[in-house]
Amino acid sequence: MALDVLARYEVSQSRACRLVGVDPKTVRRKEKKSDETVRQRMGEIAAERRRFGYRRIGLMLEREGIKMNHKKLYRLYREEGLAVKRRKGRKRATGTRAL
């Protein structure tokens, strides 16, 4: 809602929202920033450093000037389908030994 319209009709923001049938919290909410650059950079780091988890990637992003909450970082990490590449277990001999 434009503030000039509210001022012209001398109506409060909450009353205008009630008249229109909109929750005031959705009107006041600011638009979220796009995380595309962060997602892209996370993917690049994960591609070159296969054994880095979200925490180490977060530290590398901080060094580049991209700082964010660890919960958001983990959410983006999972949404991008990134995961630490698991090491395979050692091979064990099967069967019994012949004497």
Which three-class secondary structure string do you get for 54-73? Answer: HHHHHHHHHHCCCCCCHHHH
Where along the chain do its domains lie?
1-30, 36-79
pLDDT tens by residue, 60-99: 999 999 999 999 999 999 999 999 888 888 888 777 776 6
Q: What is the mean pLDDT of residues 12-26?
A: 88
Q: What is the pLDDT of residue 99?
A: 66
Q: What is the pLDDT of residue 2?
A: 60
Q: What is the mean pLDDT of residues 51-57?
A: 94
Interatomic CA distance for residues 31 and 80, integer angstroms: 22
Token pair for residue 91?
A: 């091979």
